[in-house]
Amino acid sequence: MIVYYGANGISGELPLPSIYLENATATDLAELAASDFWRHRPGEQPSLVTLIHLMDVDGNDLGIFEVRRDMRPVFTATALPVA
């Protein structure tokens, strides 16, 4: 299964086993997406806050999350209210 996400307005893809998606929460996926996004940018310093939009997770838009970098490389997500 591929999770399609946007991180700070930049599109990305995160391949994950289907069994993981059955047990993961939306915040878990947002944290993984933020980690994946910054892992692919080794020359850049991760920002304190990364906005993650889980655009397509098994056909569903799971919304936008504010993911904070508490310690490198740990990320913590919080769901943002729908406008």
What digits encode the pLDDT tens for the residues 19-73?
Answer: 988 899 999 999 999 999 999 998 998 889 999 999 999 999 999 999 998 766 6
**19 vs 1, 16, 23, 45, CA distance in Å?**
9, 8, 7, 32
Residue 74 confidence (pLDDT) above 70: no
Q: Which residue has better confidence, 55 or 81?
A: 55
Residues pairing with 4 in the sheet: 13, 56
For residue 75, the model assigns a pLDDT of 73
Model-level pTM?
A: 0.82
